[in-house]
Structure 1
């Protein structure tokens, strides 16, 4: 594998710093990967973070759509000087070229985050699952390709578990499917037994996907490190049983030591 130029090294370092600042669990998970692969993991996860953070950085949905469109243009067009000057974009484009990552999936991730900009309720579980596949499972598949792993249901299942857990970590809101709320007679603005029952069903779905991923991971010959971002899923979901759990505030963070121990244990096993 050719060594990146000094400018590219700086851009990869920027990606690592971004992940370390915004998602320490993810940064720790990357540490268990072989050193030559880490910079490329940093690039794809920095891209995932940059696109997921768009909503928090804009005051109007249109501005958010423009930011996301910049990413899709960067991925589908000729790499201009302006694109290469963006450290995450430059590192990502280098990683795409080195590992022949599927640009259509990278574009789909940016497109999926357009839904974040609006307060429209997710209609059903199928729509939410598609969103999780594009935003959480896809980066795991790209990471697996960097490790030389072939296709496996483990990556999709782990991504679904991680995506659903991310929804549960947020205050109950637009991402909880309307179909699920209607079935339980719940309102996302009212802390009630009905809302807790609806979210418990979402939790059970996340755990089911997690267990399916663990079962499939046992057969992997390569790429188990790609599953590590989902290793802390059970630790977060256990927070729903805490006495102070409030669905209107989302899941609190477990202790850093507990999360780190879970990652260490998963890294010594099947990745989950």
Structure 2
């Protein structure tokens, strides 16, 4: 299997929404979109494959070095080499990628997310950056898509955070903002222990409402964006359905992983790709 095929299979397996979204893009842009998705996956999963923060820090530094010398010799790492090619082909800025790596340092430790503002900053520098870079791949510039990409990043990050909450809580990591928990009297220790309380459910409800607020902002901005940028935003199409599933999760929401069926995800992507609009919340 060559590098491109390996990367495509990797993204299709681990981030099917972004893989399918790329299929709605012109063929010339798909390599860039898939490379960005692979890069995001590689950085995001470092916490999953290291036992201590220091090996994770070393891996992140390796990625920084790989990006800061994009003209260096081929590494043999399919994601690095194809990302470098995409950077050159689509003239992508490297600074947002370095900022994404820096933001993901937070994942290596069990420090609590301090507040909603910090959460939104983290989301903007991770998921939001990938959306914005994808828009640059598709349009050749990013001056008109930045605000929508930021809102999309927050909506995507909240949905992903809530959907994978049982996994992160089980490993002792608190991704929910401390000020949101405090507003509802939800104790971090109680959530980490998986205790299903009214206070915890109220905090989760606020996060879902916040995601819907950002989805509304994306929906308002989307019709005025360059039409060719749409595939970069398509992963957001699955968020409304995921939020509904999270709202009606049976049993303990702190111990129950939630997802949407592949067919429902594909339908959501196709509907937004066809109409150019997000469904009403």
Above 0.5 in TM-score?
yes
Relative to the length of structure 1, the TM-score reads 0.91
2:134 maps to: 143
Contact 1:239/1:245 (<8 A) preserved: no
1:192 equivalent among 192, 197, 221: 197
**Aligned partners of 1:224 and 1:271 also within 8 Å:** no
Deviation at 1:251, TM superposition (A): 4.5
Where do 1:175-214 residues align within 5 Å? 175-187=175-187, 188-189=191-192, 190-214=195-219
For structure 1, which runs of at least 5 residues remain unmatched after alignment? 1-8
CA pair 251-210 structure 1, distance change in 2 beyond 3 A: farther
| d(CA) in 2 for partners of 1:171, 1:78 | 35
- Judge conservation of contact 1:227–1:271 (CA < 8 Å) in 2: no
Report the secondary structure of 2:75's partner residue: helix
CA distance in 2, matches of 1:113, 1:164: 15
**1:155-213 superposed Cα distances (whole Å, 9 cap, x missing partner):** 21111111111111122641101111111111323211100100111111111101110
Mean alpha-carbon deviation: is it higher for 198-207 or for 140-149?
140-149
Q: Take 1:143 and 1:158, find their aligned partners in 2: how far apart are those partners?
A: 12
Unaligned runs of 5+ in 2: none
Alpha-carbon distance change, 77 to 84 in structure 1, aligned in 2, over 3 angstroms: same
Q: Give the one of 162, 166, 169 matched to 2:163.
A: 169
Q: Which residue of 1 aligns with 2:68?
A: 76
Task: Name whichever of 239-248 and 84-93 sits farther off.
Answer: 239-248
Deviation string 1:134-167 (CA, Å, 9 cap, x unpaired) is 1101011111011115422222111111111111
In 2: Cα distance, 1:243 partner to 1:97 partner: 44
8 Å contact 2:223–2:277 — kept in the other structure? no
TM-score, scaled relative to structure 2? 0.89
Total equivalences in the alignment: 263
Aligned to 1:97: 88
**2:224 matched residue in structure 1:** 219
- From 1, 5, 17, give the equivalent of 2:9: 17
CA distance in 1, matches of 2:164, 2:249: 18
Q: Distance in 1 between matches of 2:183 and 2:197?
A: 14
CA-CA distance at 1:258 after TM superposition: 1.3
Shift of 1:130: 0.6
